Amino acid sequence: MSKVPHNTDEGFALTTPAQIDTFRLATIKMGLKALQHGMVITRGANAKYLLSCLSQYTGKKYSPRKDVQQGIADIEEIMRKVTS
């Protein structure tokens, strides 16, 4: 995983496609974990939507009722490959 450039005055910037994809996958993972615990992030960010976003990276189809845990595991596997 590439380093994210930091600017102490204005936060950080995601400048490469790899950085953007990594951040997006981390956000999807956090959303799925929140849904597992019964939290509602926003009305539009439901399990079906988050898993469809994940499908763009994995090419798999996920069931919102059965595959949330599998989606989280797939994200962790992708992140493990990216960071090593």
More confident site: 61 or 13: 61
Instruction: Specify the range with the lowest mean pLDDT, choosing from 1-5, 31-35, 59-63, 76-80.
Output: 1-5
pTM of the model: 0.81
User: Which among 49, 8, 15, 18 is positioned nearest to 32, based on CA atoms?
Assistant: 49
Give pLDDT tens digits for 45-71. 999 999 999 999 999 999 999 999 999
Neighbours of 50 (CB within 10 A): 24
Using the structure block, give the residue that is written with the tokens 């790899």: 18
Residues 6+ apart with CB under 8 A from 5: 12, 13, 15
